[in-house]
Amino acid sequence: MLRFVKMHGLGNDYVYVDGFAETPPADPAAVARRIADRHRGVGGDGLILVLPSDRAAARMRMFNADGSESEMCGNGVRCVAHLVVARGHAPAGRLSIETGRGVLDLLVERDTPRRSRVRVDMGEPILEAARIPVDHPGAEVVDAPCAALGPEAPWWRDCGLDPRMTCVSMGNPHVVFWCRDVARVPLEAIGPGIEHHPLFPQRVNVHLVQVLAPDRVRMRTWERGSGITQACGTGASAVCVAGVLGGRTAGRITAELPGGELELAWSPGGHVAMTGPAEEVFEGVWYGG
């Protein structure tokens, strides 16, 4: 028996376990695969454990729907911060959360008992190819040819795809492609091949981005280990960085995702700031069937 809270940030939904009050599962990877099943489990993009920390208000461990553990989730860490405050483990305002990326600073502003608006200091982006990692000869990967896309297909012209890639790590690896119309990209078909391509030794999160204005973009995401998701906070952060590096956007943007909007800001040499909602959906008890 496992008590949980279902939460989401812009539709990027996870099952959360409050490790301050509950004993975390012994095999969280196996539990993630079962509990994230949208037909036979609770349903979600994965499982996130909220655990005590000796370095921060709480520690976050996240597991994708396929059971793989990931270093960081921007929408997830906002929800963790909300839960920590809502359950009385820390006061509202400024707090820190320990993640696989390191300790992040956040600002939690309560909207309602079940919803908060959270600003996250996402840290400095990692741009060195070897550290992202991506198998590329250059020091950085900005508007570089991408073998993972394969041969040109007719839909490239339909969506105005630029086949060059920009790669950024926000503690987890991201590859960004620009196009004229994200709705015309068959992401469900190309996402798995790019995610698992040898070019990306730790797999990769895939983002298609359409520039609407210098301060606004529209994006769709294929997340490593989860597939197409409603939103990706680390991905939106990576898109903000990629837009500045390629001269396509300003340093402060609004990203339109299928699940809603995120506000991002970045200046070269600085940290990425991300602001968006965190919302509880329901609480329950899972019996592991």
Catalytic residue numbers read 73, 232
User: Is residue 63 within 8 Å of residue 30, measured between CB atoms?
Assistant: no
User: Is residue 41 within 8 Å of residue 196, measured between CB atoms?
Assistant: no
Residues 6+ apart with CB under 8 A from 169: 125, 126, 127, 131, 132, 133, 238
For the chain, where are the alpha helices, taking DSSP H only? 28-35, 74-86, 154-159, 187-195, 233-245
Strand-pair partners of 167: 175
User: Is residue 202 within 8 Å of residue 195, measured between CB atoms?
Assistant: no
